Amino acid sequence: MKKRIIPLLVLMSFSAFGVSIEEKQNRIEYLESLQEKAPSMDIEAYKRELQYEKLGLSLDERAKAEASRLAEQIKTQISRAFEASLGSKSPEDAAAEVRDAIIKDSELVNIEMREEIKELSLKALEEIQQGRVSSDENLSAIEKSLMKGIQERYDFLNEEAEDMPMSAMTIDPTLPKANKNKDSEKKEYASKAELVSSLASDKENVNWISTGGVTLKSSRTAKREANISMQVKAEFLGVSLSAGPSFSFTREYGTDVQVMAEGMNPVLLPDGNFDFYKRDRNGKILVKGGKQEKRFINFYCDASLEFGTEAKAGGGFSIEGIGGGVSVESSFKNSVSMTSRRVVVPEYVDGKTTTFKLLAQICMNDFLRARVTNNMTIAQSLNIMMKNVVSSLRFSHPKTKCIKDSHCFNWYNKEIIGLARIGNYPRCVEESREKFYQCQLRGLKGQNCAVFDAKGKRVSDGMFEFQCDVGLRCVKVQNEGWFTNWELYQYAKGKCMPINAKTYRAP
């Protein structure tokens, strides 16, 4: 007893001096382990927060650093957008196009920082046109808006572990050890708390059943939690910024218990207790070597958190699907889940026989409160997974169909007829008036393109003509006009040709 208590008392006394950097690193590593259960989690901000901890920055200094990072992202993207527009437009027209996009996309930004980001963006565009760079910006509104997320991440890293009760100290099941003592096969637990702690530990599972058997699963129950406001990312000039609006998300916990037993005879007796014995086809207990044979029965808990929201005021959520395709949906629903360790169904808990009702209560109530780390329960883990999934969600124009060219490959291969694919390349381009992004074909070198006269009238025939790709322009290679005494009219023809043959590279 004393050997088990002393190290834990040392750990408790150390926590009074604050959470160590090593423990904070462990918490980040725990978040990374959760990515296996929720791959779309975004934890980069937590990693930056750990660096701020190591540097000893105050919360205000962190807000300034995060705001500066966001400002640099915006400036970089404005510069890229301006350069891309220059490929087919004059500097004045390119600037006007980017300016319109800034004003349009600013409507998707969090209202608290919207005007500041718009002002920052328009100023950056002006400086790019003039060939100068300035770092004199007022980012106070951005800093204030980002502070909530900074505070949450700070609290996550610095929350001190709660003191454990004496009963838990003597058990200590959450510390990872080799499964040498086969504790997953324990037939008796001193208390329900001990069994719950064992389920939440990261020790090895008990073996699976190796013969035919029966499975018993409880009906899933749901527990609604109060709605929570969470911020998403915003689509701004084709990239995602951590500056999107906040939405109210619904949350609903689901829990269940699943029992698996070898043998085809019922696993439960009429009184609700488990039948731990092997039986023959007549229902008699099998005896081997003068002893009644026991059957193998194990169980595990499963907890999930379903969450969702709806963009009622226009706009939508950009969701990447299978094959790289992107759709924009007005509503978003998702779920994250955690499964307990699998252990043998014990015969006794707290001196009483184990019933299915007891296991259901453990899985549907106690498991959510079980601690997986010193400062986090199963329910808290589900919530942090949910928040990091939401933080990677992108809010964009409802007509947006792509973010980058690769999102258009599936569209190009499945929806475009073979003849139209010849000499063309799929591009994610911005619609000129409404400023949403969609997939379009762009003509490669030698592709037919439309020819217009000085009055803007098309003089080519319009058959399989396409807008030229970046770095190309439409060159007239055949004149229009009447031939053979006004009996035959010849349409003009245009071909996509490099603007600069020395620098042009085909995609």
pLDDT tens-digit profile, the chain (507 residues):
333 332 332 233 333 357 899 999 999 998 888 887 777 788 889 999 999 999 999 999 999 999 999 999 999 889 988 888 887 778 888 898 888 888 888 878 888 999 999 999 999 999 988 887 776 778 999 999 999 999 999 999 998 765 443 333 333 333 333 344 467 888 999 999 999 999 988 888 887 766 778 888 886 767 788 889 898 888 787 778 888 888 899 999 999 999 999 888 888 998 889 999 998 888 899 999 889 999 999 999 999 999 999 877 567 787 654 444 456 678 889 999 999 999 999 999 999 999 999 999 999 889 999 988 877 899 999 999 999 888 888 887 666 677 678 888 888 988 888 888 889 999 988 776 655 678 899 999 999 999 998 888 889 988 889 999 999 999 999 998 877 666 678 889 999 999 998 889 888
Assess whether 384 and 241 both reside in one domain.
Answer: yes
Domain assignment present for 169: no
Q: Answer yes or no: is 170 within a domain.
A: no
User: Is residue 62 a part of any domain in this protein?
Assistant: yes
For residues 46 and 119, state if they share a domain: yes
Contact status, residue 302 vs residue 337, Cβ threshold 8 Å: yes
Instruction: Answer whether residue 506 is part of any domain.
Output: no
- Domains contained in the chain, number: 3
- 351 and 427 inside one domain: no
102, 186, 406, 447 from 409: Cα distances, Å: 27, 55, 5, 19
Do 235 and 371 sit in the same domain of this protein? yes
Residue 112 domain-assigned (yes or no) = yes
314 CB-contact burial (10 Å; exposed 0-12 / middle 13-18 / buried 19+) = exposed
Is 431 among the domain residues? Answer: yes
d(CA 200, CA 203): 9
**Domain co-membership, 302 together with 417:** no
Strand order in the sheet with 352-353: 188-189, 348-349, 352-353
**Among 332, 365, 396, residue at a domain's last position:** 396
| End position of a domain, from candidates 124, 157, 190 | 157
Residues 268 and 385 in one domain: yes
Q: For residue 175, is it within any domain?
A: no
Residues 273 and 300 in one domain: yes
**Domain end call among 396, 414, 441:** 396
Note whether 382 and 409 are same-domain residues. no
Amino acid at residue number 53:
E
| Residue 507: inside a domain | no
Q: Does the reported pTM lie above 0.95?
A: no
234 and 340 co-located in one domain = yes
> What residue numbers bound the domain in which 421 lies?
405-498
**Strand-strand pairing, 348-349 and 188-189:** parallel
Same domain, 366 and 432: no
Same domain, 226 and 367: yes
Q: Are residues 132 and 40 in the same domain?
A: yes
Structure tokens at 30: 């725990």
Report residue 142 as tokens. 């951005």
